[in-house]
Structure 1
Amino acid sequence: NFWGCNLALRTWNVTSLMGNELGGCGILGVGIWLSVTQGNFATLSSSLPSLSAANLLIAVGTIIMVIGCLGCVGAVKESRPLLLAFFILLLLIFFLEIISIMLFFIYQDEIDRYAQRDLKKGLQLFGTEGNVGLTNAWMIVQTDFRCCGVTNHTDWFEVYNATRVPDSCCLEYSDNCGLDNPGTWWTAPCYERVKDWLNDNLVALWIFALCTALTQVMTALKIYVFCNKLCHVFDIKAA
């Protein structure tokens, strides 16, 4: 009958939308956790100081949750305008992701050069007032990745106007070890070390991106099918 069919359609569509909603909650939760636990750990970028991993996750998670709520409300209220808005936003996000990936591969060399130039500019703020987050970030990166500077340890010479590096560049940490012989410092460039680490984890990142894209496409298709079924149900009711 009409009411049984209507209830089944609502339940089916709301359940399918909960995957997106839970995914957004998960991303938002990870972002908040990182924001709380990382303290003053900020981005290494000098031109985009607020663009950290935690902030990105919080923003993405919030957007996904808002869009998911829009879809759920549209499904419960059987509102075609809301469902259509959800469908369009979902497709828009999907195409933006595809375009972003294409642009990344096309302009990868330019991105590398810009990133290195921006990171070197950020070195000038190391240890200065109001840049505790950036300073801590460099100390942690150099210690964890066993590297020094953006392209090499000489990047720090321009910062200090002397032949010295931060103590986090030392093979064995001790106070003022950055003033010792260069043979006691890490020589690997941090940019390449971090880039290698990202490449090592690229498979997991691609799997996550693929799953996200497939979820978006499947949800969009379900919304399309639901709208068609919704029209059919209204036709039955009218008859």
Structure 2
Amino acid sequence: MVEGGMKCIKILLFVFNLLFVIAGIGLIATGAYVNIKMDEYYDFFGKEYLGPGILVIIVGVLIFLIAFFGCCGAIRENYCLTMTFAVSLAIIFILEIAGGITGFVLRDKIEDDVKGVLTDAMRNYNESHHEGVTKSWNKLQEEFSCCGVNNYTDWNTTRGLSAPPVSCCAKIPCTPSFDDPSSIYTDPCAGQIEDWLKGKVAIIGGVGIGLAFVQVVGVMFACCLARAIRKEYEVV
């Protein structure tokens, strides 16, 4: 009866390890995607918004490696390996909760930061030694189909340009003009990138917290298997 129960726990632990491997790969891919996208706007936001993505990648790699201890412990019915797996999952659980909370904290902070960051960056547009800012602004307006921080006229009031940048053009060819905005994007970039950042940070936070609670079940199964193994050793 005890042997049958331990076999059942082993099978369940294997299933959870498979899920952890898949989840680890998914976390690595998600973190890498967000960091690659954020790196494109590094000249705007610097390192601050890279943190959650990097943490998710680290957690994904650790989960992938830790699943090895779970498999080895279950196959060998080794108490030490199984407990190592359980303790490691518990530590990762704490990291994921921290990453998820960080993500949601940043999500609330985004709205306050974005307008100020974009406005400061706009003042350096097309200035010497600020090629990265110019490139980032052009990419932002083309990718998000927007123009200016709050309005396309920001390019005149904040930057002092006589016409919006060509990257504001909604169609090619076009001659961007403040007097005739029919050929340019008119949506504000601040709102567009705020929504994008909130969405990506919410994904990181949600995935991290969701997976963390799944791991609690994995820790429970690992502890049950370790206890069964220990009892078997004591009987022997």
Mark yes or no: TM-score above 0.5: yes
Contact 1:2 1:237 in 2 (8 A): no
What secondary structure does 1:46 align onto?
helix
The percent identity for this pair of structures is: 17
Alignment gaps of 5+ in structure 2 = none
Select which of 27, 35, 43 maps to 2:41: 43
Q: What secondary structure does 2:44 align onto?
A: coil
Q: Which of 178, 183, 189 lines up with 2:180 in the alignment?
A: 183
Q: Show structure 1 runs of 5+ residues with no match.
A: none
* Residue of structure 2 equivalent to 1:63: 59
Change (3 A) 1:7 1:133: farther
Kindly provide the amino acid, as one letter, of the partner of residue 28 in structure 1.
I
Could you tell me which residue of structure 2 aligns to residue 94 of structure 1?
97
**Length, aligned pairs only:** 226
Looking at structure 2, the residues matched to 60 and 157 of structure 1 have their Cα atoms a distance apart, in angstroms, of 40
Change (3 A) 1:138 1:44: farther
Return the letter of the residue paired with 2:40. Answer: A
- How far off its partner does 1:75 sit? 5.0
Give the number of the structure with larger relative contact order, counting CA–CA contacts within 8 Å between residues 6 or more apart: 2
Residues in 2 aligned to 1:117 and 1:205: alpha-carbon distance in whole angstroms: 19
Whether the aligned pair in 1 keeps the contact of 2:144 and 2:192 (CA below 8 Å) is yes
For residue 88 of structure 2, what is the aligned residue in structure 1?
85
Residue identity opposite 1:15 in structure 2? V
- Displacement after TM superposition at 1:188 (Å): 2.4
Q: Say what the alpha-carbon RMSD is for the aligned residues.
A: 4.1
Give the counterpart letter for 2:152 in structure 1. Answer: H
- Comparing 124-133 with 78-87, greater Cα deviation is found at 124-133
Structure 2 distance, partners of 1:56, 1:207, is 11
**TM-score, normalised to structure 1's length?**
0.69
Tell me, yes or no, if the aligned pair for 2:24 and 2:61 is still in contact at 8 Å: yes
1:17 matched residue in structure 2: 17
Letter in 1 for 2:116: R
Aligned-residue offset at 1:87: 1.1
CA shift, 1:190, in A, is 1.1
Q: What amino acid is aligned across from residue 221 of structure 1 in structure 2?
A: V
Match of 2:116 in 1: 117
TM-score, length of structure 2 as denominator length = 0.70
Asked if the contact 2:13/2:218 (under 8 Å) is kept, the reply is yes
Q: For 2:3 and 2:205, how far apart are their aligned partners in 1?
A: 39
* 1:208-219 correspondence runs (5 A): 210=206, 213-219=209-215
